[in-house]
Amino acid sequence: MTEGRRWRSVPLRGNYLRLITGGLGLLLHFGNCDVLQAGIIQAYKSGITLQGNTTSLGKWDYSGSFFFSISAITTIGYGNLSPSTAVGRIFSIVFALFGIPLNLVLLNEIGHLMLLGVQRCASRLEEVFHWQNKASFLMKTCALVTGLLLFLLLPPLLFSDKEGWSYEEGFYYSFITLSTIGFGDYVIGMNPDRTYPSWYKNVISLWILFGMAWLALVIKFCINILESSSYFCQCNKKNTETAEDLTDGNKNSVTGLQNVEICCDKDTKMKAPVESHSYTAPTEALKGRKMFSVSCRF
């Protein structure tokens, strides 16, 4: 690496870069270990790793840049690596502005292909073994178990081998990454004491894409279960309210019939004396009986 390229790669001020490559002479010149420590930390955040007496691009090689691109368009954003120049920041904005929607389309297509494969396998099992409901349930279970193995249970073993993490830490990193939470407390390929193969970050980038699509399907399935259960509860509540309304309506109708009967009885008692003394006007008495019978009917 030339001196000019090294200077453009590390945005350090003053003699920070010379402190990193100079050694004990410059350390004695400044007489303060904090300056050297600050320079090393700044260089590490800028993508420079120290390997003996030589300096390499570290995180900004091709695989590291590809991993940064994947973490940007998937909105994971670990925060361990970021552009330090104005041109790089503007390019990152434009890149994310177009990359995030395209990545969502890609994840949707990957999830659709996964779901289509499960449905075809289920229909094939139904044709061969004449299963109706068991085939769909069996294939969904197999897809869930396979996804758990490929995206959550087996990757921690790889991380334990390459990063030196425990299985719990690897599983934690897997879920935080695939769910796009991205705290940044655990990031692959950041240990300067370890040598990583060239395919490592590329494979992890593909794992992130397919794992996010699979986890999105699982989350969608859980949402459908919750929505169906809430809809079932609402239907039961509506049926209960309808039954109560019908019961109240029957009670009101029975009460209305009783009131009508009581009114008819009162009218009968009031009309009886009039009929017994209406010898002088028999026609009017008959008319009164007709009116009384009509009112009782209604």
* pLDDT value at residue 123: 84
pTM here is: 0.64
* pLDDT value at residue 57: 44
Report residues of the chain scoring pLDDT below 50: 1-17, 19, 53-57, 254, 257, 260, 263, 266, 269, 271-298
* pLDDT value at residue 124: 84
Q: Which helix (H) or strand (E) holds 284?
A: helix 282-297
Q: How far is 98 from 144, CA to CA, in rounded Å?
A: 32
Q: Give strand ranges (E) for the chain.
A: 49-51, 54-56
* pLDDT value at residue 128: 81
Asked whether the beta carbons of 209 and 106 are under 8 A apart, the reply is yes
Q: Which helix (H) or strand (E) holds 50?
A: strand 49-51
Q: Could you tell me the sign of the dihedral formed by the alpha carbons of 116, 119, 123, 124, in that order?
A: positive
* pLDDT value at residue 43: 67
* pLDDT value at residue 256: 53
Q: Environment class of residue 174 by beta-carbon count within 10 Å: exposed (0-12), middle (13-18) or buried (19+)? A: buried
In three-state secondary structure terms, 51 is strand
* pLDDT value at residue 62: 86
For residue 6, the one-letter residue type is R
